[in-house]
Amino acid sequence: MSRPADRILVALDVSDFETAFRLFASLTDHVGGFKVGKELFVAAGFHTDGRDFIDRLVEQECNVFLDMKFHDIPNTVAGAVRAATRAGVWMLNVHASGGREMMRAAVQAAHETSTRLGKKPPLVVAVTVLTSLNTQDLHEIGLVGTPEESVLRLSVLAKDCGVDGVVASAQEAAAIKRECGADFLVVSPGIRPAGGDPGDQKRLSTPGNAVRCGCDYLVIGRPITQAKDPVQAAVDIAAEIAAAASR
């Protein structure tokens, strides 16, 4: 990451290709990459005007984070990861709760496919505990303890499986770095500028605090994509990141 803005991954959580590509075109010089998740994938699909949307981003040397949160039997996840690797995505994620065999299958599929194609493998990161969940939510689904305890347990397991990092809130980032090492990536959603609308997120952080806690990449959607001036919003967040990183 050569500049503070490279830490920003804009979530293209919109319902149509035209809006997504307009955001990409205006923001690409001001951020580090773009997250393509379930809403855009399902609503617009991969095919628009006979071309693959992700192909169009990859062709322009854009870092694409494919946020499909793969969670299935190991064979199925491996197949999905092979397809994503062939598509040229820069980063993809799987659910850590899918278990050891599933995560290992994902990593193996990414590396074998990229080796066969003669290119760099995508980063594989494991989703720990969604930032929309708190302690009460975990207890309701039968998980004992705090979000941080669950995040750390899953992070250690994920590292042992060979993944490159985890998706977790900034609130757990410092503890993850202590347990898993400085090179183990922490990708954090739930990022809101001070005073911003939390929406459906519960474990939140400002951009500056996230960087101080050790987060490597910040996934930011609505504070940028729904701003009156998305470019200025991205520039302001990058400035906050720069200030936090210099302290």
pLDDT, one tens digit per residue, over 20-52 is 999 999 999 999 999 999 988 887 655 554 357
How far CA 209 is from CA of 122, 169, 206, 240, in Å, comes to 27, 11, 5, 9
Q: Name the β-bridge partners of 123.
A: 91
Q: How confident is the model at residue 239 (pLDDT cuts 50, 70, 90)?
A: very high
Residue whose pair of structure tokens reads 């307009």 in the numeric block: 22
Give me 56's structure tokens: 């169009």
- Give the residue numbers marked as catalytic: 69
How far CA 56 is from CA of 9, 80, 110, 144, 190, in Å, comes to 17, 20, 21, 44, 27
Domain boundaries, the chain: 4-245
Q: What percent of the chain has pLDDT over 70?
A: 92
Which amino acid, one-letter code, is at 234?
A
Q: What DSSP string describes 84-125?
A: HHHHT-SEEEEEGGG-HHHHHHHHHHHHHHHHHHTSPPPEEE
Fold held by 4-245: TIM Barrel (3.20.20)
Q: Can you say how many angstroms the Cα of residue 220 is from the centroid of all Cα atoms in its chain?
A: 9
Q: Nearest Cα to 62, choosing from 142, 8, 116?
A: 8
Q: What is the pLDDT of residue 54?
A: 83
The whole-angstrom separation of Cα 175 and Cα 171 is 8
Q: What percent of the chain has pLDDT over 90?
A: 76
Q: Are strands 91-95 and 123-127 parallel, antiparallel or unpaired?
A: parallel
The whole-angstrom separation of Cα 92 and Cα 70 is 9
Give me 177's structure tokens: 């770095």
Mean pLDDT (the chain) is 92
Question: Which range has the top average pLDDT, 7-16, 48-57, 97-106, 190-199?
Answer: 97-106
Give me 101's structure tokens: 């065999």
The whole-angstrom separation of Cα 56 and Cα 59 is 5
Q: What is the pLDDT of residue 49?
A: 47
Q: Name the β-bridge partners of 36.
A: 66
pLDDT, one tens digit per residue, over 156-206 is 999 999 999 999 999 999 999 999 999 999 999 989 887 666 666 677 689
Q: What is the mean pLDDT of residues 68-85?
A: 97
Q: Nearest Cα to 126, choosing from 90, 162, 85?
A: 162
